[in-house]
Amino acid sequence: MEMLLFRVWALLALIPFPGATEETFEVSVWPDQALVKLGQSLMVNCSTTCPDPGPSGIETLLKKTQVDKGPQWKEFLLEDVTENSILQCFFSCAGIQKDTSLGITVYQPPEQVILELEPAWVAMDEAFTVKCHVPSVAPLENLTLTLLQGNKKLQRRNFMSLAVASQRAEVTINVKAQRADDRCNFSCRAELDLSSYGGGLFHSSSAIKVLRIFGDQELSPFVSWKGDTAWANATVQAMETGDQELSCLVSLGPMEEKTREPVHVYSFPPPILEIEELYPLAGTDINVTCSGHVLTSPSPTLWLKGAPDLPAPGEPAWLSLTTREEDNGRNFSCEASMEVQGQQLIKTTAMQLHVLYKPRLEESDCPGNQTWVKGAEQMLACVPKGNPTPALVCTWNGVIFHLEVPQKATQNHTGTYCCTATNQLGSVSKDIAVIVQGLDEGISSTIFVIIVALGVGVTAIALYLNYRPCKIERRKLPYRQKEKNKEQESQFAVQQAEKCNAHNC
């Protein structure tokens, strides 16, 4: 839209009037006044009514870039504008040069307003100082600072008459403390009015400071006597934390005795544990924050169970997580600790997370195959998971099966049961096959297994015994063969000797 306005303005400015010559040409710049936020950019259009212009451009100390041009105009981008300046736009026509200027004003809104209350604790009838300042703001002459006590205006100041060299966005006031000032809120409001530059109104306020007034407080003691000893008991309610003092004054006739005792007052409420969503759906991103109570003084050290890092003292602890079904019932604890007079104090706040998810029928809790013993009291084993807790309904042959009542198992119970678990998030179904076996079937099976085992054992022993003599026989065979050969050789030698005697050898 801004670019379109540039073009329209340039065209209107370039329409020549009757009788216009090179000597009567004009130079114009758009916008006619420029208001730029600190560090931002500005688009400038420089144009002329000369029908055939010569050299032209702009003169400025700012960073400039020519982004577009026409026969009688040029357009420039000024970047990172950080200070007020004057820009010159010039054109030459038939050897004559003319120029026009553009004032550029840089503004910075009062984003930070700082209020100081010194001292924050003050004795009655003593003076205290309220000071307000804005570190960065421009132009200062358009700024107004207002000090407030509650809604009452204490002082209002503008800076139009200040010299440039002494510019400082600050206002200070001294006030005498009165009892009515105790616990009063003080604040500062800053307003930057840029309407004279064609801009708007920017405003910002400081944080609130609370003033405390103190003075000696006389208690109303309960006095008791015993012999020549007197006791004075009084109850005091500590309104503020820190080091306080109790004094006891005893007077007898013209004599007085006074003693003092220091008292350290602290405040330590339980820490605050916040779960962004206490009943999230599974898969939801949530934040868990552990912070100290606003009344805790001094600042405690915080620890959130499961948080990756320990925060700095006084800073909250937090963690982010994506909830899972396993996080249902997860406990979070926020622990705050502080040291008082050398003693370590600890307080804890705990909360439980409830993750919502659809029903499930898992095999571990709802087996798809189940065996019942005939004649025994049996129940269908099926426990659904889910949050909220699902309602479970099982049907058998089209009839609802009572899950809570044990059934005396018969062969008629054999079959397929359909179980459906339902909660507010959905439902899931599962078929369960049930087989009913008689007790005698189980005993017969056991006896059969024992007989088979005994048979296998006997066979193994027989094979072992049969195999062992065979090995012995095979080991003895070479020795027996050698003895037999020796016997045959002896018989042959005897036969040869008998033949030799017969023939008179």
User: Which H, E and C letters describe 316-344, residue by residue?
Assistant: CEEEEEECCHHHCCCEEEEEEEEEECCEE
- The set of residues, in sequence order, having a beta carbon less than 8 Å from that of 448 and lying 6+ positions away, is none
More confident residue, 242 or 41: 41
More confident residue, 212 or 500: 212
pLDDT of residue 379: 92
pLDDT of residue 109: 94
Q: What is the CATH architecture assignment of 359-437?
A: Sandwich (2.60)
Q: For residue 305, give the 3-state DSSP assignment.
A: coil
Name the band, by pLDDT with cuts 50, 70 and 90, for residue 361. Answer: very high
More confident residue, 487 or 351: 351
pLDDT of residue 251: 82
pLDDT of residue 313: 76
More confident residue, 493 or 350: 350
Name the band, by pLDDT with cuts 50, 70 and 90, for residue 326. Answer: very high
Name the band, by pLDDT with cuts 50, 70 and 90, for residue 383. Answer: very high
Name the band, by pLDDT with cuts 50, 70 and 90, for residue 234. Answer: confident
pLDDT of residue 441: 54
pLDDT of residue 215: 64
Q: Kindly report the number of other CB atoms within 10 A of residue 55's CB atom.
A: 8
**pLDDT above 70 coverage of the chain, percent:** 79
The average pLDDT across 406-431 equals 94
Q: What does the pLDDT look like over 72-83, one tens digit per residue?
A: 999 999 999 999
| Cα(159)–Cα(169) distance, integer angstroms | 8
pLDDT of residue 239: 65
More confident residue, 220 or 363: 363
Strands (E) in 366-438, as ranges, are: 369-373, 377-378, 385-387, 391-396, 399-401, 407-408, 415-423, 426-437
DSSP 141: G
Among 273-282, 355-364, 469-478, the minimum mean pLDDT is found in 469-478
The average pLDDT across 348-364 equals 95
Displacement of CA 313 from its chain's centroid (Å): 18
Question: Is 70 exceeded by the pLDDT of residue 345?
Answer: yes
The average pLDDT across 395-411 equals 89
Element (DSSP H or E) covering residue 240: none
| Cα(368)–Cα(382) distance, integer angstroms | 9
More confident residue, 127 or 215: 127
**pLDDT above 90 coverage of the chain, percent:** 53
Name the band, by pLDDT with cuts 50, 70 and 90, for residue 490. Answer: very low
Give me the CATH code for the 27-107 domain, please: 2.60.40.10
pLDDT of residue 126: 85
Angle formed at CA 149 by CA 143 and CA 151, multiple of 5 degrees: 80
Give me the CATH code for the 272-353 domain, please: 2.60.40.10
Name the band, by pLDDT with cuts 50, 70 and 90, for residue 223. Answer: confident
pLDDT of residue 454: 52
pLDDT of residue 217: 66
Name the band, by pLDDT with cuts 50, 70 and 90, for residue 504. Answer: very low
Buried b (16+ CB within 10 A) or exposed e, 392-411: bebebeeeebebeeebebee
pLDDT of residue 308: 79
pLDDT of residue 100: 95
Q: Are 27-107 and 272-353 equal in CATH topology?
A: yes
Question: Is 80 exceeded by the pLDDT of residue 505?
Answer: no
pLDDT of residue 15: 45
More confident residue, 159 or 143: 143
pLDDT of residue 216: 62
Q: Is 267 exposed, middle or buried (0-12, 13-18, 19+ CB in 10 A)?
A: middle
pLDDT of residue 12: 44
Question: Is 80 exceeded by the pLDDT of residue 430?
Answer: yes
Question: Is 70 exceeded by the pLDDT of residue 487?
Answer: no
19 backbone φψ class: left, alpha, beta (φ>0; ψ -120 to 50): left
More confident residue, 125 or 103: 103
Question: Is 60 exceeded by the pLDDT of residue 60?
Answer: yes
114-214 topology per CATH: Immunoglobulin-like (2.60.40)
Name the band, by pLDDT with cuts 50, 70 and 90, for residue 440. Answer: low
Name the band, by pLDDT with cuts 50, 70 and 90, for residue 492. Answer: very low
Question: Is 90 exceeded by the pLDDT of residue 342?
Answer: no
388 phi and psi, to 5 degrees? -60, 160
Q: Is 372 exposed, middle or buried (0-12, 13-18, 19+ CB in 10 A)?
A: buried
Strands (E) in 293-414, as ranges, are: 301-304, 317-322, 331-340, 343-352, 357-360, 369-373, 377-378, 385-387, 391-396, 399-401, 407-408
Q: Delimit the domains of the chain by residue range.
A: 27-107, 114-214, 272-353, 359-437
pLDDT of residue 397: 86
Whole-number average pLDDT of the chain = 82
Question: Is 90 exceeded by the pLDDT of residue 450?
Answer: no
